[in-house]
Structure formats: C-alpha cells, structure tokens
C-alpha cells in the first residue's frame, strides 16, 4: 500500500517540511509554513501577498500565490499570473544555484510578461519586471549566486 500524504480532497500532498526556497527538509525539521492551495484572492491581495513573500526571500511561496491567481481568477488573466509565477520560480532556482534553469525561467517569464500593458496588469510594473528579469538572468547565466531576498523585485 502506498502511504503517500493526501489532502482533504485525496490529492497527493507531501507533509515533508520545506525551507524558504521550497527545498524539502527532513521530516520533523522545522520548516516554512506551506501556502494553502486554491485560495481565491483579489488581484490586489495577490500582489500584496506575493510581494511580502518575495521580500522575505521566499520566491517559491510567492510562485504558489501567483499559481492560485491563475487557477482561481478570470481565464483571460491566467497568462499574466503564469508569467509572474515563472519569474518567482526563476528567482527560486537562481537562489538555489541552478543557473541554467533559473536564467531560462526568468527569460521565459519576462517574455510572457512583456506583452501585458500596465493598465491591464493591475498596476504591476511590467516594464520594470521585464528589465529586472533580463538583468538577473544575464548575471545568473554568468554564474553569479544570488540571494532571493536581496534580489526580490518590486511588483509595483
């Protein structure tokens, strides 16, 4: 019998603790509280919570907030939230030392975000984020290690 952890709906959900970058820790170790899934937030709440997590050096958890927004929000806005999630995951991988994956995800997220106009993006600084991601991707691809909190972008 498979003893995988399950949530209330029966989906697999590991109870293994994780650190601020989403890396698994040993069972019983103190970890960072996981983000609840499928939380419907307003765009303002999404941006505020994601910024709080980014500022705290927890881009993995910010990505989960953006993922909630694309899964619970209007379908036409899903590409915006997916692009922001890719930026957060790119920062996560970069801070973990995965230079190839981090740079690739930062560029992919920036490319997806570039088509959004600030007026349609809930006041998010699209141009600033695209510039931030490109500059960070270049540094990461060159082998520079980054600190997630020090590199946290400003969403607005």
Asked whether 59 and 89 are in contact (CB, 8 A), the reply is yes
Q: Note down pLDDT in tens along the chain; length 156 residues.
A: 345 565 566 655 567 888 888 888 888 888 887 777 778 899 999 999 999 999 999 999 999 999 999 999 999 999 999 999 999 999 999 999 999 999 999 999 999 999 898 778 999 999 999 999 999 999 999 999 999 999 999 999
CA 26 – CA 17 distance, rounded (Å): 7
Burial of 41 per CB tally in 10 Å (0-12, 13-18, 19+): middle
DSSP letters of 57-101? T-HHHHHHHHHHHHHHS-GGGHHHHHHHHHHHHHHHHHHHT-HHH
Model pTM score: 0.86
């Amino acid at each position: 019998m498979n003893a995988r952890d399950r949530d209330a709906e029966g989906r697999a959900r590991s109870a293994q603790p994780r650190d601020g970058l989403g890396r698994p820790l040993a069972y019983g170790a103190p970890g960072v509280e996981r983000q609840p899934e499928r939380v419907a937030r307003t765009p303002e709440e999404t941006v505020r919570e994601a910024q709080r997590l980014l500022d705290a050096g927890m881009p993995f958890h910010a990505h989960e907030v953006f993922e909630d927004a694309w899964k619970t929000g209007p379908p036409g806005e899903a590409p915006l939230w997916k692009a922001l999630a890719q930026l957060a995951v790119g920062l996560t991988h970069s801070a973990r030392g995965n230079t190839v994956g981090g740079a690739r995800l930062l560029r992919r997220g920036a490319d997806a975000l570039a088509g959004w106009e600030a007026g349609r993006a809930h006041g998010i600084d699209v141009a600033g984020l695209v510039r931030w991601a490109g500059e960070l991707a270049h540094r990461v691809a060159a082998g520079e290690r980054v600190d997630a909190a020090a590199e946290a972008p400003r969403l607005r």
